[in-house]
Structure 1
Amino acid sequence: MPLQDSNNPSDEKSESRLYIGNLDLRISEAALIKMFSPFGKIISEDFLWHTRGPKRGEPRGYAFVQFSTKEEAQQAKEKMHGKLVCGRPLIVRLASEKYLMEGGENSCKAVGGETTKPYLSGGSLTRMSRGAKIAAIKNKLKSMEEESHISKRQKPADSS
Structure 2
Amino acid sequence: MDPNGSIDDKCESRLYIGNLDLRITEAALLKMFSPFGKIVSEDFLWHTRGPKRGEPRGFAFIQYSTNEEAKLAMEKMHGRLACGRPLVVRLAGEKYMLETADNSTKAGGEGHKLHLTGSSMGQTSRSAKIAAIKNKLKSLEEGSRTKKQKQNDDIS
Task: Tell me which interval the TM-score lies in, with the shorter structure as reference length.
Answer: 0.5 to 0.7
For the residue of structure 2 that corresponds to 1:51, the secondary structure is coil
**Pairwise CA distance, 1:96:** 1.5
- 1:105 deviation in Å? 5.4
**Aligned counterpart in structure 2 of residue 46 of structure 1, from 34, 43, 48:** 43
Deviations 1:96-134 (A, max 9, x none): 11234732557xxxxxxxxxxxxxxxxxxxxxx9xxxxx
Superposition TM-score, scaled by structure 2 size: 0.60
Does residue 12 of structure 1 match 2:9? Answer: yes
Cα deviation for residue 85 of structure 1 reads 0.5
Query: Aligned partners of 1:36, 1:72: CA distance in 2, in Å?
Result: 10
Q: CA separation in 1, counterparts of 2:43 and 2:74?
A: 16
CA RMSD of the aligned region, Å? 2.3
Cα distance in 2 between the residues matched to 1:69 and 1:21: 21
Q: Which runs of 4+ in 1 moved over 6 A?
A: none
SS in 1 for 2:28: helix
Question: Is 1:84 paired with 2:81?
Answer: yes
Structure-2 separation of matches of 1:27 and 1:77: 18
Q: Aligned-pair distance for 1:3?
A: 3.8
Q: What are structure 1's unaligned runs of at least 5 residues? A: 107-128, 130-160
User: Matched residues in 2 for 1:15 and 1:62: separation?
Assistant: 18
Question: Cα offset for 1:86?
Answer: 0.4
What percentage of residue pairs aligned between the two structures are identical?
70
* Structure 2 residues without counterparts, runs of 5 or longer: 102-113, 119-135, 137-156
Q: CA deviation at 1:45?
A: 0.1
Query: What are the equivalent positions in structure 2 for 1:3-152 lying under 5 Å apart?
Result: 3-4=3-4, 11-97=8-94, 98-100=97-99, 102-103=114-115
Aligned residue type for 1:40: G
Equivalent residue letter for 1:61:
G
Counterparts of 1:31 and 1:59 in 2: how far apart (Å)? 13
Q: Which has the higher helix share?
A: 2
Number of residues paired by the alignment?
A: 103
Amino acid at match of 1:49: W
